[in-house]
Structure 1
Amino acid sequence: MPVEDLIRYFNAADASSDSTLYVAGDRVEAWHGGLHLGSLFQPIADLRSECVLGHQASLTVRRTDGAYLPPETLFDSCADGPAVVYLDRLCRTLHALNFLAQHRSTGGYLQVGVHPRHLHAVSNQHGLVYEAILKRCGLGPADIVLDIDADTSELGSHGAHALASYRLRGYRLALHGPEQALALPAVLALRPDILRIAAADPSACATVPRSAMRIEIAGIDDGEALGNALSNGADLGTGRLFGEPSTACRATHTGARNPYNPPSSYGARP
């Protein structure tokens, strides 16, 4: 379905809200609570081949006077759990639409954040609604890595249940490595497909058991950081060396090639 038709469909389905998706040039933006929302994409690269395997989506929040706000201020303004759930899904729908708009040259997987408050505000069937949204966009859970930055002590049994529900639906999970090494076993027990670690501490890779899980290093800005990440056994990386966050994704294939192929061991579609 063309992006314009999808926008009309989602706006019609959400007629009771004050949010609106709209076309802005060759991209999609959203109007929510008097603010303009947009998407940025940062390439995620295989560190050995330096090929782009996916993109990490992030949110931009802009006032009507053009001034930018930190995205978290938008979520802080949510009065309750249902408001967080609605906003979180709106943002991920926006990212999916902007990713879809570039499908002629952009494949691989889309890594999108799930707000920690969303996990607790939904009682069950986590990922079901977003799966229906993705299918409208011609995508599916196998094309998505859900990026979750939540302390394991905050997740609790309900959070673990939410992650299991996402996994059963076919989503892949990226969890952030804890600042304290003592908390690492609790994160690993949640069986993430990807463990995200800051470039400032790549040596943490050495303490992670090698398995089907992959290590993603954030903040690889130069060759030295790349060398450190490789020497410590990291698999994936983001940073200025591979590309700054941008409204445009990095090309992963020519227009003649189908961007969505069977998932690789990275949880990616190469």
Structure 2
Amino acid sequence: MIAPSLPELVARAAEHPFLGAHVALGKNEHAGEAVARYGDLCISSAYEPIFDVGTHSFPQTLSASPESAERFGDELGVQALTLIQGDAPRDPFGQLEDDRELVALDRLSRAVHAFNFFGPHRPGLLFLRVHERLLKSVKYDHGLHFSSVLTEFGMSPSRVVIELPAAAVAHKTFLGYLTKSYQHYGFKVAGNLPNAGQIMAVSDMARLDFIKMDAGAALRDSVVKHLVAYAHRLKIPLIFSNVIDEAQFNALQQFDVHFVQGPVFDAHPVHGR
């Protein structure tokens, strides 16, 4: 299924009962992308690539310019980052007191990320973080609303990875319910490990599609080799996230690490949720 173009998606959004009041084509620095207005806030997208460094047989290095990012191997996909401009705290998702506002802001950001990913026909998978409070605000059928929106606009839920926070992964029963619910509505699911030992429990209650672990924490605790081996036995791809510098990247290369992401690969880093 080929998604409509970005202008087509935005034009169709104008007729949507919720998105129509907020989503538009951006101007000036946001020209050529979809943005959403929510009160005085402007919501836009940035993307952090997730590289499969195992696709190249030669050693990877960061000694060259980061602009030549394609040398790291194939892209598994991208992590969406929510950029918010306006009079807002650093984490408006965490500071909103009204759960209904939190849900509205989250649904807008997901729609904008999906439009800016599918509209230009980007390859690979779109990883979308979900806020812990949102998981608690929505009582059941997690994934139903977003799946219906994607399908309505001609975008495939199967190319979207819902990324669960560490707090959700730490609770096995809740993790199992969330994973099955999102997968039922066509999504893939990734779980952020709160610690290395949690990987031993991820298959008990839920069959995650991806596991994510903070690279700095894994290297600090000397558990990279253990994590890679256990993930291999589970047959679940393991992504080391938040790789911040060349030293961390080189340290990971000592092991059979395949998937990496982080600000070290971005020549022009941005900050967002």
* Alpha-carbon distance, 1:246 to partner: 6.8
Distance 2:5 2:170 in 1: 40
SS at match of 1:175: strand
Shift of the 182–100 alpha-carbon distance from structure 1 to 2, 3 Å rule, reads: closer
2:111 partner amino acid = T
Shift of the 111–143 alpha-carbon distance from structure 1 to 2, 3 Å rule, reads: same
Pair 1:83-2:98 in alignment: no
SS at match of 2:158: helix
Shift of the 245–108 alpha-carbon distance from structure 1 to 2, 3 Å rule, reads: farther
Task: Determine the structure 2 residue equivalent to 1:261.
Answer: none
Task: Determine the structure 1 residue equivalent to 2:23.
Answer: 21
Task: Determine the structure 1 residue equivalent to 2:76.
Answer: 53
SS at match of 1:196: strand
1:39 to 45, 51, 73: 45
Pair 1:135-2:137 in alignment: no
Residues 136-193 of structure 1: CA deviation (Å, up to 9, x unaligned): 34321210111111314875644531221112233111111213x4444344533322
2:120 partner amino acid = Q
Task: Determine the structure 2 residue equivalent to 1:163.
Answer: 179
Task: Determine the structure 1 residue equivalent to 2:110.
Answer: 92
Where structure 1 has 5 or more consecutive residues not aligned to the other structure, the ranges are 248-270
Distance 1:18 1:75 in 2: 25
1:216 partner amino acid = I
Moved more, 45-54 or 235-244: 235-244
Task: Give the percent of matched residue pairs that are identical in Structure 1 and Structure 2.
Answer: 23
1:175 to 191, 197, 217: 191
1:73 to 92, 95, 102: 92
Shift of the 172–69 alpha-carbon distance from structure 1 to 2, 3 Å rule, reads: same
1:230 partner amino acid = Q
Q: Is the 8 A contact 1:120 1:158 kept in 2?
A: no
Q: Is the 8 A contact 2:215 2:243 kept in 1?
A: yes
Distance 2:38 2:48 in 1: 24
Distance 2:102 2:182 in 1: 18
- 1:116-155 aligned at under 5 Å gives the runs 116-152=132-168, 155=171
Pair 1:185-2:188 in alignment: no
* Alpha-carbon distance, 1:99 to partner: 0.8
The number of residue pairs the alignment matches comes to: 238
- 1:186-201 aligned at under 5 Å gives the runs 186-189=201-204, 190-200=206-216, 201=218
Q: Is the 8 A contact 1:197 1:215 kept in 2?
A: yes
1:31 partner amino acid = R
* Alpha-carbon distance, 1:73 to partner: 2.1
Moved more, 158-167 or 41-50: 158-167
* Alpha-carbon distance, 1:10 to partner: 2.8
Q: Pairwise CA RMSD of aligned residues? A: 2.8
Q: TM-score, normalised by structure 1?
A: 0.76
Residues 32-61 of structure 1: CA deviation (Å, up to 9, x unaligned): 131111101011100223222211001011
Shift of the 170–232 alpha-carbon distance from structure 1 to 2, 3 Å rule, reads: farther
Task: Determine the structure 2 residue equivalent to 1:262.
Answer: none
* Alpha-carbon distance, 1:134 to partner: 1.6
Residues 73-120 of structure 1: CA deviation (Å, up to 9, x unaligned): 24422412x3322222211111001112321xx211111111122222
Q: Is the 8 A contact 1:173 1:194 kept in 2?
A: yes
Pair 1:204-2:220 in alignment: no
